[in-house]
Amino acid sequence: MKQLIEFIPLILFFVVYKLFGTQEAAIVLVVATLVQLVVLKKLYRKIEKMQLFIAGFVVVFGGLTAYFNNDEFLKWKVTLINALFALALLFSQFVLKNPLIKHILGKEIRLPDAVWAKLNLGWAGFFILCMLLNLYVSYYLSSDAWYTFKVFGLTGLSLVATLVTGIFIYPYLKEQEKS
């Protein structure tokens, strides 16, 4: 249910873009994101820091997109968020010596430190890939292609990355279950 609620602003954004255009889509994205936060707070009594972080970016960059009727701001939002996620993961691993992914998922699952490190690097690489793909699509393809890539391409890539993560950690979870 929570994941469905998280996708509603994105779907509304895409539909409104196709029907009306960039400015209207950006306004709907900002409003839907704010409504989403209210709904999540009401249903789950808590809004995660990551959701607030992303919502802040949506409001700022979506607001700029709507005000200037220029989708470059939204294109940069995607690039910056992916870059910041990658930097946070890499910083946590190489500077703090404590993989961020372990901090995020370690409450639910136990994995060896070497596996956490690989997982952390894998997700950092994933965010770098998304950042680079977003830059390529936004600069070398049409805006229409970018909107489709943003909604379906990046969402699909995220799903694949999540599935690969599950496959990667499955043997360790199975081993943990035995013990």
SS3 of 96, please? coil
- Structure token digits, residue 76: 């940069």
Mean pLDDT calculated for residue range 128-147: 97
CA atoms within a 13 Å half-sphere pointing along the CA-CB vector of 18:
9
Q: What is the pTM of this model?
A: 0.92
pLDDT class of 117 with cuts at 50, 70, 90: very high
Q: In angstroms, rounded to a whole number, what is the distance separating the alpha carbons of residues 89 and 124?
A: 6
Q: Is 9 in contact with 32 (CB distance < 8 Å)?
A: yes
| Better-scored residue on pLDDT, 176 or 30 | 30
Whether 172 shows a pLDDT value over 90: the answer reads no
Q: Is the pLDDT of residue 72 over 80?
A: yes
Judge contact between 120 and 92, C-beta under 8 A: yes
Segment 42-47 shows an average pLDDT of 92
pLDDT of residue 97: 96
Q: Which of 103, 114, 91, 110 is nearest to 48 (CA)?
A: 103
Helices 113-140 and 72-94 cross at an angle (nearest 10°) of: 160
CA–CA gap between residue 123 and residue 146 (Å, rounded): 22
